[in-house]
Amino acid sequence: MKDIIYLDNSATTKPCDKAIEYLNKALSDNWGNPSSLHTIGIKAEEILSSAKDLCAKAIGARCDEIFFTSGGTEANNLAINGAVLARAKRGNRIVTTEIEHPSVLEPIKALEKQGFEVIYLKPDESGVVSKESIKNAINKNTILVSIMLVNNEIGTIQPVRFAADTIKSVGAPALLHCDAVQAFGKLPVKVSDLGVDLLSFSGHKIHAPKGIGVLYRKKGVTISPLIYGGGQQDGLRPGTEPVPLVFALEGAVLSLPSINEAYDKMYELRKYAEEKLTATGIVTINSPNNSLPYILNVSVVGYRSETLLHFLDAKRIFVSSGSACSKGKLSYTLTALGLDKKRIDSALRISFSRYNSVDDIDKLCDALTEATKKLKRA
């Protein structure tokens, strides 16, 4: 798609050239079953091994700690349900936050209906869960703690390492899971620094195709599989591995720019966006100052998000009204921050990638200013 301004990169990203190249190469040349013992199968297995090695190095893990899934949702579900199934005899408490992605909250809500005690930690006004609340929630009956690294709507960074230290100091039997889907490739994500047992990330957030995700499981940690089959991937996630998608993920990871350089670029781009949007006099910033610069949540109070989205869409400018998985529902993340309904109902999430520029921001600002002049206030 040419001549578009795409600012919805937290929902998905445009596949990069190397990811597309690797995908096509695997589809045409390396389409074998990696479990087959002949030459074609061995070539496919070599791709899997290479991609595992690359993903492992990216997060400071071992190759045998990497498992490929169909995406972040499956990786999160496997981590959460697998951990609870494996540890149900050791306790009954699950700790998470009110602002997790639906692929974390929904399986946990299902476990709550089955009788598990769930503690939902509320963020403060800055969108961060306090260390005190984490400390108070984790006890010796806790079997799972699941805290995202970066929130997908407002970009706040959560104190995952503190949760790891608390589990250890309390002596809880809990496994620590981290949804790092919005963080991988944007922050230095190292499993040893975070102290996690389980970590998830997704290919289509870093310019790989949809349909491929990764679950890290720390060596020595046992979680139960959710599906059963031919025993691939150590029996934890059986099924013939999607070699073309795995190869495309490798291409995307290889194409990631230096995290520090990219972060600095995004910081300057977001700073410019905040200043430019604020200068219009119609925009209120919702994302806290200390949030990841790849995400900027704003409100154009008095104008409904959906109406603004359609107006921008007509000008080939693409943003979102919040999480792409919310399907238009009022944002529970912004609600948890204590924002009033009018502000939430007019919220837009602008999310950047390395393909964006200040020119994109200028055109967005012009379009929003035009929208407030032409559209009726809600």
C-alpha 39, offset from chain centre: 37
Question: Are 152 and 323 a contacting pair, CB within 8 Å?
Answer: yes
Spatial separation of the C-alpha atoms in residues 20 and 181, rounded to whole Å? 21
Residue 139: CB atoms within 10 A of its CB come to 14
Helix (H), strand (E), coil (C) string for the chain: CCCCEECECCCCCCCCHHHHHHHHHHHHHCCCCCCCCCHHHHHHHHHHHHHHHHHHHHHCCCHHHEEEECCHHHHHHHHHHHHHHHHHHHCCEEEEECCCCHHHHHHHHHHHHCCCEEEEECCCCCCCCCHHHHHHHCCCCEEEEECCCECCCCCCECCHHHHHHHHHHHCCCCEEEEECCCCECCECCCHHHHCCCEEEEEHHHCCCCCCCEEEEECCCCCCCCCCCCCCCHHHCCCCCCCHHHHHHHHHHHHHCCCHHHHHHHHHHHHHHHHHHHHHCCCCEECCCCCCCCCEEEEECCCCCHHHHHHHHHHCCEECECCCCCCCCCCCHHHHHCCCCHHHHHCEEEEECCCCCCHHHHHHHHHHHHHHHHHCCCC
8-state DSSP, 98: T
For the question of residue 325 being annotated catalytic, the response is yes
Question: Are 357 and 46 a contacting pair, CB within 8 Å?
Answer: no
Q: Which of 55, 63, 325, 365 is catalytic?
A: 325
> Which residues are tagged catalytic?
325
